[in-house]
Structure 1
Amino acid sequence: MFSLRRKTEMPAPGQALPGRDEPLATAERHFVNGRPLQGPYPDGMQLALFGLGCFWGAERKFWQAGEGVFVTAVGYAGGATPNPTYEEVCSGLTGHNEVVLVAFDPARLSYEALLKTFWESHDPTQGMRQGNDIGTQYRSGIYVFDAAQRAAAEASRAQYGRALAAGGYAPVTTEIVDAPPFYFAEDYHQQYLARNPAGYCGLGGTGVACQIGTGVAA
């Protein structure tokens, strides 16, 4: 019980693991499309950052989101430990979330379309868990890079929260905060389900449609 409680509570100041100064080694190129994983990205690309449960399945949702996605990568964000390892994140002592970084072309794919993918791909009412995956690293989160992203994210949360409530779901627990430092995860996590098609994916949506970006009032 103590271990479970620790994993579902953010570490108090001074409790977070120290981490390290140097970034972890990761893949150079995206396994699916061959593009540079860490950039530089072409001019005009924008970044989006989401946490919605185990990042293996979450990343696949976004690289399949449309031709406007230039590249995706998985990593850690939202905690206190610099350059954490996967094992450290799973300990519950970093405060980090498992997240997906999306570099996309806003002329071909809107941020609102990515938000729709985000909301419909998981259950954002579960707090520090997603299905059977339990811990702070599985929390629902949108990490925004500018005021326009924040406005769109907050509007979508309000809209989707109403739709979920109408379907009998609990209130949304998704955090929306300014994008923190992003730390690339280890090589073997990148595009994991493309490398391992039969691999684990615990991600599941609610079945409730998100109307943001469709022109339909929620």
Structure 2
Amino acid sequence: MFNRKTTMPTPAEILPGRAEAMDVAQPHAVSGMALTPPYPDGFETACFAMGKFWGAEKRFWSLEGVYVTAVGYSGGTTPNPTYQEVVTGLTGHAQSVMVVFDPARLAYADLLAMFFENHDPTQGMRQGSDIGTFFRSVIFARDDVQVSAAEAAVVTYQQALAAAGLTAKLTTQIVPVGEFFFAEAHHQQYLARNPGGQSGLKPSGVLFPRGASS
């Protein structure tokens, strides 16, 4: 069950999943907002995978302009997967965080900067000792505007790594967001309810040049 695969599963390997979605009826443990839609008019969503989703979610929920965050599974094939299924590597999903934000108060470019600064996007199918396709670095773009911003950010951060003397190449994927499957309730805002838990994030230490990808 816990074979940490580093290659994406073939169609024949994909687990079947289920029709029932996870029950995430409880409000956000920090903001008190509902995790699920509808969200306020004019607000936008972003989705990122950058290693363990506990630590990734915590990085985003405190940003000014963020309405709500949630952890879940993106980029795979199995419908409504469980955590135990995702970590077999046989659903194709990455552990991810969804961010609902007010674009009048927070730019998508600032979310991209937070994304790159808080993990190592050169690791491929891993983050440090956390190994598996479900720990890969991904920007799940919802439209062409986010795709363009993400592509510009990749170029900018690769240049920043080079300027810092690091030769590793970015392995971050930019893909359409597809369906975001909410993770189990006990994973939502885990580090708010378990402050001693490990974030799992392994940043490179290189800052993202602010304003470069606007």
Matches within 5 A, 1:113-132: 113-132=110-129
Equivalent residue for 2:11, pick from 10, 13, 26: 13
Identity across aligned pairs (percent)? 57
Unaligned runs of 5+ in 1: none
1:112 aligns to 2:98 (yes or no): no
Q: Kindly tell me: are residues 122 and 145 of structure 1, through their superposed partners in 2, closer, same or farther at Cα, counting changes over 3 Å?
A: same
Q: Kindly tell me: are residues 4 and 191 of structure 1, through their superposed partners in 2, closer, same or farther at Cα, counting changes over 3 Å?
A: closer
Match of 2:80 in 1: 83
Encode CA deviations 1:71-101: one digit per residue, 9 max, x unaligned.
0000001011000000000011111000000
Asked whether the 8 Å contact 2:152–2:213 carries over to 1, the reply is no
Match of 1:159 in 2: 156
* Matched position secondary structure for 1:7: coil
Match of 2:187 in 1: 189
Match of 1:37 in 2: 35
With normalisation by structure 2, the TM-score equals 0.95
Q: Kindly tell me: are residues 4 and 23 of structure 1, through their superposed partners in 2, closer, same or farther at Cα, counting changes over 3 Å?
A: closer
1:48 aligns to 2:46 (yes or no): yes
Question: Counterparts of 2:213 and 2:60 in 1: how far apart (Å)?
Answer: 22
Asked whether the 8 Å contact 1:27–1:186 carries over to 2, the reply is no
Question: How many residues end up aligned between the 2 structures?
Answer: 213
Deviation at 1:215, TM superposition (A): 7.9
1:70 aligns to 2:79 (yes or no): no
Asked whether the 8 Å contact 1:156–1:212 carries over to 2, the reply is no
Match of 1:61 in 2: 59
Match of 1:138 in 2: 135
Asked whether the 8 Å contact 2:156–2:212 carries over to 1, the reply is no
Match of 1:100 in 2: 97
Deviation at 1:5, TM superposition (A): 7.9
Asked whether the 8 Å contact 1:125–1:169 carries over to 2, the reply is no
Query: What amino acid sits opposite 2:129 in the alignment?
Result: N
* Matched position secondary structure for 1:13: coil
Unaligned runs of 5+ in 2: none
Deviation at 1:162, TM superposition (A): 1.5
Deviation at 1:180, TM superposition (A): 1.3
Asked whether the 8 Å contact 1:73–1:101 carries over to 2, the reply is yes
With normalisation by structure 1, the TM-score equals 0.93
